[in-house]
Amino acid sequence: GESVGLHLPTLSVQEGDNSIINCAYSNSASDYFIWYKQESGKGPQFIIDIRSNMDKRQGQRVTVLLNKTVKHLSLQIAATQPGDSAVYFCAENNSGYSTLTFGKGTMLLVSP
């Protein structure tokens, strides 16, 4: 079936570096995409979202890029901090349905 998946299971960076986490999706009907951060023992926390009519959206220290041609989504974190260490999930949604389909997750490890 169609699914959302991640390229890299673990990403290790130094504090202050920029981080890029990637995600591929295969459902061409998806029109809404979300990045979640999950810290150990906690539920997923909303970071940033983007609709399919956009290709870039910026938040505080985070940017999401959407390339619909190749069905690729990325999360860029600027000046990564130790507190950014967590598992990051992409998720997709078809606005005709309320459920989210999650990718497998990427562990981001930030060294001081």
Partner 1 sequence: EPEVTQTPSHQVTQMGQEVILRCVPISNHLYFYWYRQILGQKVEFLVSFYNNEISEKSEIFDDQFSVERPDGSNFTLKIRSTKLEDSAMYFCARGQGAGGYTFGSGTRLTVV
Contact 89, 101 (CB under 8 A): no
Q: Dihedral of the CA atoms 41, 46, 16, 24 (nearest 10)?
A: 100
- Using rule CB under 8 A, residue 97 touches partner 1: yes
Region from 10-18, 60-68, 78-86, 102-110 binding partner 1, contact rule CB under 8 A: 102-110
Site track for partner 1 across 46-65, x = CB under 8 A: x--x----------------
Region from 14-22, 55-63, 76-84, 87-95 binding partner 1, contact rule CB under 8 A: 87-95
Using CB under 8 A, pick the residue from 42, 53, 69, 70 that binds partner 1: 42
Residue type, 55: D
| Residues 95, 107: Cα–Cα separation, whole Å | 28
| Residues 31, 45: Cα–Cα separation, whole Å | 20
Using CB under 8 A, pick the residue from 32, 61, 71, 72 that binds partner 1: 32
